[in-house]
Amino acid sequence: MTVSEKNRDDGLRGQPSSSELGENRLARFVIARVNQYHFFLARRNQCHAAESVCHDTHSLYNLSVDNRLTSQQCTANDRCGGKHHEQYHEAKPNQFAFHTPPDSWTYEANCAERLPEYAGSTQLATDKLLTFKLLHLLSSKRLDTEVRKMDRNHFYQMMNGSGQFDYELYLNTRALLSCQKDFAEFCNPDELQFQIVHQIEELWMKLIGYTLLDIDEYVHQENTNRVLTLFRRVHVTLRLMIDQLALLETMSPKEYQEIRLQLGHGSGQESPGFRVLLKMHQPLWESFRTFYLEKHGLTVESIYDEGYDHGDAYVVAEAFAEFDELLQKFRYHHLQLIHRTIGLGAKSLKGRSVELLEDGLRVQFFHELWDIRNKMTDRWGSQYGVVRDSIGGH
């Protein structure tokens, strides 16, 4: 295979080189493309709506896609020459073709990259001027196109829904979506998020409280499968409560302070859902102790250590422990959120909600489940040594 044959095959397989096609043939190709654009620009000038402009621009793209124009579609066929049609229009996609719609404006970049390769030829001066005029025209058309902002009031009305469909009626979305302030009343754009996150937290805690009541009934029946399934629901809900606190971390301290003024003396300690949960753990634990432990002559120590068999009492006790752990994690993340947004050392907060939160971190619902771990570790320590030997010899 000769060098010229190899160059020809390479051009057909990929992107043709300027040395193979020659400056004049490159110029003719650009002129053909320019004339095509002029043809469609003439059509576009007859359009008055922005949608028509977009439609005609895409029509040009549809004609030139895949770089397979026919001789009839090329409006400058006499200047292009018939020979290069087979090479350009049957070749695989290359950088001269418009492989993305013109409204992405890649045509400007493609021409700007290729023109320097044959910019030294004096006979191309007119062609270059015509090309750059076209690029300027396309750019100015794009800049002159007015992009209007979305109509807030229009979408505000849509957000509240009509309340007439079965889905809306069943979920009472008209009332639900009216639980927040009116859009015009927010002290800053973040107040909607603040209200929604806290309202959702209340709904999750309502679900947790309702589920704990079901758990208590199944504990009385010693229906372990049901107890474990419902505890899993509680655990998942608590994790959601923890995770969604991260939304409030997207607010700046300045924005948080503006919203805090709307709360007056209010704080999370006044949450009805949280106050209910604080009162439910003790009767729930009494039910477990009565029906899973005392009824069968068991103790927390026996199910964890002396008589450990991973039985029903043990797996239910671990579900209690996970509930306790996740609630403490929620309290911890809530405290860290306050640390990040309004600070923990502010004088105005002393003796109030922050100190109550810090005290809450030291509270365990089911302390017997945590104490047994300490006792077991101490017993192992007395047998194997409180201070173990280093396995690394240091």
Question: What pLDDT digit, counting tens, does each position of 148-205 carry?
Answer: 889 999 999 999 899 899 999 999 999 999 999 999 999 999 999 999 999 999 999 9
| Angle at which helices 367-384 and 312-341 cross, to 10° | 100
Rounded distance, CA 331 to CA 360, Å? Answer: 7
Query: In the CATH hierarchy, which top-level class contains the domain 186-382?
Result: mainly alpha
Q: What is the rounded end-to-end Cα distance, in angstroms, of the chain?
A: 73
- Looking at residue 101, the DSSP 8-state letter turns out to be -
Q: What residue type is 199 in one-letter code?
A: Q
d(CA 13, CA 157): 56
pTM (global) more than 0.75: no
C-alpha dihedral over 244, 202, 279, 329, to 10 degrees? 0
In order along its 394 residues, the chain shows pLDDT tens digits of: 555 555 545 444 444 454 444 545 555 655 666 566 555 555 555 554 444 444 444 444 443 443 334 434 444 444 444 444 444 444 434 433 333 344 444 444 444 444 444 444 444 455 555 555 555 555 555 544 567 889 999 999 999 899 899 999 999 999 999 999 999 999 999 999 999 999 999 999 999 999 999 999 999 999 999 999 999 999 999 999 999 999 999 999 999 889 888 887 777 778 999 999 999 999 999 999 999 999 999 999 999 999 999 999 999 999 999 999 999 999 999 888 888 887 777 665 545 555 655 565 667 899 999 999 999 988 887 776 666 677 776 6
In angstroms, the CA 9 to CA 3 distance is 10
Delimit the domains of the chain by residue range.
7-144, 186-382
Look-up of token digits 């505000």 = 156
Which has the closest alpha carbon to 219: 286, 157, 154? 286
